Amino acid sequence: MMPKVYKEVIDLGDGREISIETGKLAKQAHGSVVVQSGKCMLLCTVVSNYEQKDLPFLPLTVDYREKFAAAGRYPGGFFKREARPSDGEVLTMRLVDRVLRPLFPKNYSAETQVMIQLMSHDDDVMPDAMAGLAASAAIQLSDFPFECAISEARVGRVNGEFIINPTRAQLAESDIDMIIGASADSVMMVEGEMDEISEEEMVEAIKFAHEAIKVQIDAQHRLADAFGRKEVREYEEPVDNEELVKKVHDMAYDKVYAVAKAGSSKHERSAAFAAIKEEVKASFTEEELEEFGDLVSDYYRKAEKAAVRDLTVNEGLRLDGRKTDEVRDIWCEIDYLPSVHGSAIFSRGETQALATVTLGTSRDANQIDMPSHEGEERFYLHYNFPPFCTGEARPIRGTSRREVGHGNLAQRGLKGMVPDDCPYTVRVVSEVLESNGSSSMATVCAGTMAMMDAGIQMIKPVSGIAMGLISDGNTGKYAVLSDILGDEDHLGDMDFKVTGTADGITACQMDIKVKGLSYEILVAALKQARDGRLHILTKLTDTIATPRADVKEYAPKMVSVRIANEYIGALIGPGGKVIQELQKETGTTIVINEDPVTEEGVVEILGTGQAGIDAVLAKIDSITFKPVVGDTYKVKVIKMLDFGAVVEYLDAPGNEVLLHVSELAWERTENASDVLSMGEELEVKYFGIDKRTRKEKVSRKALMEKPEGYKAPAPRERSNDRGGRDNRGGGRDNRRDDRKRD
């Protein structure tokens, strides 16, 4: 019997729709939905165990996977099976996780899993924009303790008009690509890239997306009501011990306030806070600590947070002694590593990033192979965050989701400033060597300088800054913090990172932790961020004002030339022989691609020595050489024959042509050796294809003055030209006839 299906439809306002349905698939999950737009279908299931874990955090896993069958494709690799998630899938997981996690109760610690799967793909629908909608809709059908429904939407702008969930083709023309996550009354997450837009334009885009999100949330409520809302599950909620709260607060608050006001370094401050905590705990008996130890630690953290926030809001001071709009001390250096193609150090306070640049050919492009998107990146950035950068020792088990996310943000901030005609594939790697807040923005700054040091002709330099917010809901006071520390990130109400040039924003990532943040505060924060960005930008340009005019001496030079399609095979040679030998002889790397539009061959030549590159260019000129009828060329005699000489064009070595004995001089010449000698250089005139012989014709005598009273000599007998070959051919025929008779 077919189960009853419940369905709601969301109108996107331009003829497109998104549907949410439940009741047909995955009914043993605690909540499941299928979200569909066009032919794109996402299945989302949510499950949360009923047993609470003894953990101080929510063990939430958000998993997003794209099935290759969804696009009618096979997975790559030997086993032909989906394995570890791609970077694109990891980025979608982070987009959803960052909005969902704050809406679970802080003391809820049951193992919770959100699984989103692309089951059917549509080239005109980008599925990542619907993942947040699917996750929230599934949770609304469950019994989870979850604060409120949310959704996410992508916003683009084409020809000045905002578009919700644009197609990939529309996105290619858009100057904005942002995904916004929000509840009905609060924006919670923003991430995206822009083409140097203003702060006001960014806020307008967020507002536009938020209105669309409200419509999607209404559809979730209707679906949950029709399906039947479940009673929220019960779980053990700890009750505050008010007497203990007051005791810990009274003992710790003033001392923490004093340490925070002292403006000490990260390690000094951490040690001082730890000492205060131990002093508080020492005031309790062993029996009390055994019973209330966890609560004492929890209440101390609350007192510490309150003291630091109050210091900033009331006095405008911060943990390291700065004012709210001050940026930490910065120093920069370029060309630090002697063997790499480009390098730079960016050090701001206790955060430091060392960026390197490597230049390559199109063969080094980053290949993207996902069911929803295939392509390649000629510019990409990798971000590494080793444990020593925070003074920790822990095992390294592959690239973390955080590293993927931070690297992607820095890449989006920089890529728009790499010119379209850059001939190289550019890989930037950021090694975070110290971290106390905003290492991703340090990566942007170091990456800018490293690319300029490498000779990449960036359109404009880019800087980045991480901002914070501390607000007092009771008094309405707030403080926007420029260049936040790691502690301020944890204690604050907003963490947003902004990258841009002197003319506008190129990328952003924003997580808002306070409800109902006004757009006025958001605009004020973005404008303060602009002041900070411009200050940092001056430090970068003081270090390196413009890109190097050329790549470094030991870095590879890239030359790109186009050849007609008909010559590609000749350049490659049988089995790749010609191109392989050419690379070996010249010490270069040669890559040949075919332009899909013009069908020309695009030849990339990469080499550290100009002589090697010139040798390859000469070979290409030789292969593609086409003499022009009526032009004169210098040639060299390379072979003597009875009926003429084989000559080679000096401008195109390897290109040979027969100079017939009749074209050597006006007077009759019996043997070419009477006039020419091996290795002799001379000039000839090119006449194109001879109609009689159907071969190319060149002439020496055409460049000589005709003798007075000249009479053309009698025609030569054909046997002088071809008799030998004809006889040889006849001989072979006779031998074959003899064998047949035998």
Binding residues for Mg(2+): 489, 495
Angle between helix 401-415 and 87-100 (nearest 10)? 100
Closest CA to 345 of 418, 265, 433: 433
Which letter, b or e, does each residue of 544-567 get, where b requires 16 or more Cβ atoms within 10 Å of its Cβ?
beebbeebbeebbbbbbeebeeeb
Q: Which residues contact 718 (CB under 8 A, 6 or more apart)?
A: none
Position 544: which residue type? I
Strands (DSSP E) found in 300-341: 330-334
Cβ contact 209:150 at 8 Å:
no
Position 667: which residue type? E
Position 255: which residue type? K
Give the ranges where 566-609 is alpha helix by DSSP (H).
568-572, 577-586
Cβ contact 150:183 at 8 Å:
yes
Cβ contact 355:430 at 8 Å:
yes
Residues belonging to the binding site are 489, 495
**Paired sense of beta strands 150-158 and 463-471, if any:** unpaired
Stated as kind and residue range, the H or E segment containing 369 is strand 366-370
Strand partners, 9: 19
Give the separation between CA 40 and CA 71, rounded to whole angstroms: 10
Q: What is the largest CA-CA distance in the chain?
A: 131
- CA distances, 502 to each of 197, 238, 461, 464 (Å): 11, 51, 8, 11
Q: What is the DSSP letter of 595?
A: -
Three-state DSSP string of 158-227: ECCEEEECCCHHHHHHCCEEEEEEEECCCEEEEEEEEEEECHHHHHHHHHHHHHHHHHHHHHHHHHHHHH
DSSP, collapsed to helix, strand or coil, labels residue 120 as strand
Give the separation between CA 275 and CA 267, rounded to whole angstroms: 12
Give the separation between CA 457 and CA 342, rounded to whole angstroms: 13
Instruction: Estimate to the nearest angstrom the gap between the alpha carbon of 45 and the chain centroid.
Output: 29
The Cβ of residue 419 has, within 10 Å, a number of other Cβ atoms equal to 10
Q: Which residues contact 476 (CB under 8 A, 6 or more apart)?
A: none
